[in-house]
């Protein structure tokens, strides 16, 4: 720990969280079990200011610890840019360890100029069991290079320090996981419950350097499995402010029903909003099907949203380049940006579509998008590669603070608990319409398919009493959610 630079340390910890260099969720680890916390420091190469700040603090830390060396060597690959900066700032030559020996020329594992007997300081990004450090140490020692110390950015506190100490290497960590968690809690970025869940997991999951667990049967409870978590806890993990708000709204109002107000007159929509308002978390529009759109309609709809505490989503399914989408979102007759809290967006054009919308959003905190990852219609052309790319955009892209959720049909689509799954194609009588729409029951979409919010249009709109139908769908969707997370429905 670097006491002298506490405020910089804290600022960097928060920054790393904000750029998704570490996140909470349900992650598959190398050691074969899932973890509730995941570090991915590879992203820092996209943020030169963060990389610079981090390397400055590491240089200070090395000075404070009085670690002297002839060379520095980063554990491949994530730590390489960090080690490069330390090498330059400390004027210490670098060594590079290959991951595989070349199959031509020299079969050297270590690149750079050195002499047997030189001393090398190891630089690593994140330590779990310490096995990656030990692989690098082995190759350096095979060349006669002495290794006694390793400087790491984050120690996950799962046994790594002890494992490498057994091989006569001292570990010095700039951050420990507990320090990072405390800083995030102090900064109001995560709740105490989240910190406790991670702590419980780490305590129950100590690992040896060969990847086996310390206890015969590690008691690993990952409390961050998306479909098992309650909305309140997921609000804490959400990156987008609007997703946090929607999770909380659902939990307080006890509803995960979105009504698709697919009617063509403003009066009809306002009637739906007035009558069904108390039962819904979200009212979804297709503004371009309205025959008599006008600005006073928008004002009336916004007042009803406030009165009954629901959000408005325009299901516009934007799909153009960033600039055109920005114009479509903010301008024209509808001026969607002014009244829709959320809009749906195709990931097809790539990251730029999100940037376009975000650039003209009325207020980034009260706006956001849902990315379409799967569709309910028969024969749609979305494939696995497209889906993977979409989820990557929602969890690792530059605008995760603007992505509230995913429109999809299955729980397998994504694991991150901070995103909301919105699932259309819901009806008490399953089946299909005559234009390719496919329906599943509220229980099936929530319990089997991972839906957080169920979208119901004609199931309610065609009922003799839309108020009663909305109340019925609300009860069925909410009970299914309660069952799923182990809550009592009342």
Residues forming the site for ligand 5BU (CB under 6 A)? 260, 262, 286, 315, 372, 375-377, 407, 424-425, 437, 455-459
Q: How far is the CB of 59 from ligand 5BU (least distance, A)?
A: 50
| Residue among 153 and 419 whose Cβ is closer to ligand 5BU | 419
Residue 51, both tokens: 């990389």
Coil vs helix vs strand at 386:
helix
- Angle at 166 (CA atoms; ends 163, 168), nearest 5 degrees: 120
| Residue among 71 and 316 whose Cβ is closer to ligand 5BU | 316
Q: How far is the CB of 389 from ligand 5BU (least distance, A)?
A: 17
| Residue among 125 and 374 whose Cβ is closer to ligand 5BU | 374
Q: ω before 8 within 30° of 0 (cis)?
A: no
**What own/partner pairs with CB < 8 Å and gap ≥ 24 does 191-196 have?**
191/233, 191/236, 193/233, 193/236, 194/24, 194/233, 194/236, 194/237
Dihedral sign from CA coordinates of 137, 140, 143, 149:
negative
Residue 427, both tokens: 């009806």
Q: How far is the CB of 470 from ligand 5BU (least distance, A)?
A: 12
Q: How far is the CB of 271 from ligand 5BU (least distance, A)?
A: 17
Judge whether 173 is annotated as a binding position: no
Spot the catalytic one: 228, 248, 302, 317.
317
Coil vs helix vs strand at 224:
coil
Cα separation, 123 vs 82, whole angstroms: 8
Judge whether 458 is annotated as a binding position: yes
- DSSP state, 76? T
The closest of 182, 190, 170 to 6, measured between CA atoms, is: 182
Judge whether 437 is annotated as a binding position: yes
Cα separation, 389 vs 451, whole angstroms: 20
| Residue among 277 and 425 whose Cβ is closer to ligand 5BU | 425
Residue 483, both tokens: 């069952």
Q: What is the number of the residue whose Cβ is closest to ligand 5BU?
A: 457
Q: How far is the CB of 331 from ligand 5BU (least distance, A)?
A: 23
Q: How far is the CB of 164 from ligand 5BU (least distance, A)?
A: 49
452 is catalytic: no
Q: How far is the CB of 149 from ligand 5BU (least distance, A)?
A: 54
Judge whether 197 is annotated as a binding position: no
Cα separation, 216 vs 218, whole angstroms: 6
Cα separation, 431 vs 425, whole angstroms: 9
Quick one: CA torsion of 76, 82, 83, 85, rounded to 10 degrees?
A: 150
| Residue among 38 and 370 whose Cβ is closer to ligand 5BU | 370
| Residue among 55 and 390 whose Cβ is closer to ligand 5BU | 390
155 is catalytic: no
The closest of 238, 246, 254, 197 to 221, measured between CA atoms, is: 197
| Residue among 156 and 387 whose Cβ is closer to ligand 5BU | 387
Cα separation, 192 vs 185, whole angstroms: 7
267 is catalytic: no
Spot the catalytic one: 40, 320, 475, 483.
320
Cα separation, 350 vs 336, whole angstroms: 21
The closest of 199, 161, 164 to 179, measured between CA atoms, is: 199
User: Parallel, antiparallel, or unpaired for β 34-39 and 22-28?
Assistant: antiparallel
Q: How far is the CB of 312 from ligand 5BU (least distance, A)?
A: 14
Residue 28 class from Cβ within 10 Å (0-12 exposed, 13-18 middle, 19+ buried)?
exposed
| Residue among 13 and 461 whose Cβ is closer to ligand 5BU | 461
Cα end-to-end distance, the chain, whole Å? 47
Residue 54's alpha-carbon distances to 31, 83, 84, 154, 490, in angstroms, are: 27, 11, 12, 11, 49
Strand partners, 237: none
Spot the catalytic one: 125, 155, 236, 315.
315
Catalytic residues: 315, 317, 320
Annotated binding site: 262, 284, 376, 437, 457-458
Annotated binding site for substrate: 262, 284, 376, 437, 457-458
């Amino acid at each position: 720990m670097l006491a002298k630079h506490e405020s910089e340390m804290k600022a960097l910890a928060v920054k790393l969280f904000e750029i998704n260099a570490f996140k909470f969720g349900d992650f598959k680890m190398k050691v074969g079990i899932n973890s509730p916390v995941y570090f991915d420091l590879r992203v820092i190469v996209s943020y030169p200011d963060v990389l610079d700040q981090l390397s400055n603090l590491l240089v200070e830390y090395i000075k404070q610890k009085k670690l002297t060396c002839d060379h520095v060597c980063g554990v491949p690959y994530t730590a390489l840019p960090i080690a490069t900066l330390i090498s330059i700032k400390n004027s210490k030559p670098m060594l590079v360890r290959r991951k595989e020996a070349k199959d031509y020329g020299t079969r050297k594992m270590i690149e750079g100029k050195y002499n047997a007997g030189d001393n090398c300081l190891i630089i690593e990004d994140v330590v779990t069991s310490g096995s990656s450090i030990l692989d690098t140490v082995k190759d350096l020692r095979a060349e006669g290079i002495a290794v006694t110390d390793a400087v790491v950015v984050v120690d996950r506190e799962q046994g790594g320090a002890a494992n490498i100490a057994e091989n006569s290497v001292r570990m010095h960590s700039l951050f420990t996981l507990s320090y990072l968690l405390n800083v995030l809690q102090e900064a109001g970025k995560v709740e105490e419950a989240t910190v406790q869940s991670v702590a419980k997991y780490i305590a129950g999951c100590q690992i040896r350097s060969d990847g086996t667990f310390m206890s015969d049967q590690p008691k690993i409870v990952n409390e961050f499995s998306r479909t098992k978590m309650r909305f309140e806890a997921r609000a804490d993990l959400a990156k987008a402010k609007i997703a946090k708000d929607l999770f909380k709204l659902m939990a307080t109002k006890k509803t995960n029903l979105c009504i698709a107000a697919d009617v063509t007159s403003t009066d009809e929509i306002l009637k739906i909003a007035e009558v069904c308002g108390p039962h819904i978390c979200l009212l979804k529009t297709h503004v371009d099907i309205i025959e008599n759109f006008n600005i006073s309609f928008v004002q009336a709809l916004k007042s009803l949203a406030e009165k009954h505490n629901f959000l408005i989503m325009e299901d516009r399914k934007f799909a153009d380049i960033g600039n055109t989408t920005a114009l479509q979102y903010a301008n024209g007759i509808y001026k969607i940006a002014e009244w829709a809290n959320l809009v749906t967006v195709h990931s097809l054009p790539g990251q730029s579509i999100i940037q376009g919308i975000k650039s003209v959003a009325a207020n980034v905190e009260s706006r956001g998008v849902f990315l379409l990852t799967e569709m309910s219609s028969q024969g749609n052309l979305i494939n696995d590669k497209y889906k993977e790319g979409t989820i990557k955009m929602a969890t690792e892209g530059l605008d995760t603070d603007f992505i509230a959720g995913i429109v999809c049909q299955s729980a397998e689509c994504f694991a991150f608990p901070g995103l909301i799954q919105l699932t259309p194609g819901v009806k008490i009588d399953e089946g299909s319409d005559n234009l390719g729409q496919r329906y599943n029951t509220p229980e099936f979409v929530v319990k089997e398919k991972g839906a957080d919010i169920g979208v119901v249009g004609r199931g309610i709109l065609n009922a003799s009493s839309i108020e009663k139908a909305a109340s019925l769908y609300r009860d069925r969707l909410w009970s299914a959610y309660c069952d799923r997370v182990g809550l009592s429905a009342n």
